Amino acid sequence: MIVVTGGAGFIGSNFVRDWLALNDESVINFDKLTYAGNLSNLASLEHDPRHIFVRGDICDTDRLSRLLAEYKPRAIVHFAAESHVDRSIHSPGEFIATNVNGTFSLLEAARAYWSGLSGERKADFRFLHISTDEVYGTLGPQDPPFHEMTPYAPNSPYSASKAASDHLVRAYFHTYAMPVLTTNCSNNYGPFHFPEKLIPLIISNARAGKALPVYGDGLQVRDWLYVGDHCSAIRRVLEAGCPGEVYNVGGWNEMTNLDVVYTLCDILDTLDPKASGSYREQIIHVQDRPGHDRRYAIDARKIERELGWKPAETFETGIRKTIQWYLDNQAWVRDVQSGDYLSWVQKNYAERNDTKGTTA
Ligand code: NAD
Ligand code: TYD
């Protein structure tokens, strides 16, 4: 079996569902269930004995050690993190606790467990760390995309905490020869994406008749990858990646935020038209994110060349599926938009009024 951390979040829950749909190996899903973790993401696995959910904090090394001793996994896939840049600006401490100290605790538990293995089980063990392209910092318009040797230059508390965790993972390979792998992926989108991130926020606000808040001029560029493609890349790296190596994962799909928002509005105009007018009329420009990275782009040639991985979806196909999923799963959206979500929206957007005074 394998252990997954953070498997109740957006990417982790997609990974767990896909994993169990594709093979019979059990998954121990270790998750603290923060505001971002949601067991309803895993409702389809409720009666599946191959999915074992354990609530816990990756900062708890003893708990993790007991878990590893009990289940004896052949691999750990580490998704658990605080993942939202805007939240990291408001509350950086939680990002250091989980992303840095938590990854360290998990590495220590994994090292003790792996050291006690022998023979093939020891050689075949893998620790796969899921990271982000944001560790590389920001690009100018003409710069080549990030590759695996691009120097780290993180700019937000989120990306700095992820960079620190990447360095720890790297050090465990070089110092202890622990068989670790790291993936650095671009922005994901798809089903079960928590509606505080750009794409699900725009879909949800559009349908609710609310303003669609674009930070600053909206000309910041991101590379977008459908979550199912990220999950297939992770499976491929786990299966065939070389220990100690880093693989950049991306969709070859750079877009400005404004173009993403226009695309969402235009597709919604056809799939779920308003009584009159276009969703584009709801777009407002609000105060920019402090330290906002201007452009991310990923050179994903290494994983393609060495492991034969390529994304299956284009942005056009993936975003249509995603919008349709949100239209078909409005109860899920309503359920996650309560409690903490409402106070977050208030905190993040209250001071970002546009020039006309409209509140996002
Ligand atoms: P998410 O915020 O949706 O989910 C994070 C999950 O981790 C939640 O289920 C949460 O409950 C759990 N968690 C948080 N703190 C924990 C702790 N201390 N102990 C145990 N569990 C804890 O995040 P996501 O978007 O699914 O991202 C997953 C991973 O992928 C993260 O490491 C993130 O940095 C990385 N990543 C995300 C993207 C993206 O676009 N979302 C892109 C590249 C890389
Ligand atoms: P986000 O989904 O938060 O991901 P990340 O910051 O990790 O890239 O944001 C994606 C882009 O969208 C980013 O450039 C910030 C921008 N953005 C907005 O313009 N408006 C919003 O309300 C949000 C949440 C993000």
CATH class, domain 2-189+225-252+294-314, is alpha beta
Query: DSSP per residue over 84-129, as a string?
Result: -HHHHHH-HHHHIIIIIIIHHHHHHHHHHHHHT--HHHHHH-EEEE
Catalytic residue (choose from 57, 82, 86, 134): 134
Distance 85 CA to ligand 2 centre (A): 8
Catalytic residue (choose from 133, 196, 299, 313): 133
Which residues 6+ apart lie within 8 Å of 54 measured at CB? 28, 29, 30, 31, 67
Helix (H) or strand (E) holding 319: helix 315-328
Give the pLDDT confidence score for residue 360 in this predicted structure.
56
DSSP state of 282: G
158 in catalytic set:
yes
Instruction: Pick left, alpha or beta for residue 175 (phi over 0 → left; psi -120 to 50 → alpha; otherwise beta).
Output: alpha
- Cα gap 170→286, rounded to integer Å: 39
| Residue 293 Cα: closest atom of ligand 2 | 14
Q: Whose CA is nearest to atom 14 of ligand 2?
A: 220
Token pair for residue 202?
Answer: 């725009």
Three-state SS letters, 130-191: EEEHHHHCCCCCCCCCECCCCCCCCCCHHHHHHHHHHHHHHHHHHHHCCCEEEEEECEEECC
243 three-state secondary structure: coil
Q: Whose CA is nearest to atom 17 of ligand 1?
A: 57
Give the pLDDT confidence score for residue 344 in this predicted structure.
85
- Cα gap 78→209, rounded to integer Å: 37
The pTM assigned to this predicted structure is 0.97
134 in catalytic set:
yes
269 three-state secondary structure: helix
Average pLDDT for runs of 10 along the chain of length 360: 98 98 97 94 95 97 97 98 98 98 98 98 98 98 98 98 98 98 98 97 97 98 98 98 98 97 98 97 98 98 98 98 97 87 86 60
269 in catalytic set:
no
Give the pairing of strands 283-286 and 221-226: unpaired
Which of 34, 133, 146 best tests ligand 1's pocket when mutated (most atoms within 8 Å of CB)?
A: 34
Distance 135 CA to ligand 2 centre (A): 16
Domain residue ranges in the chain: 2-189+225-252+294-314
b/e string for 67-77 if b means 16 or more Cβ within 10 A?
Answer: bbeeeebebbb
DSSP state of 295: B
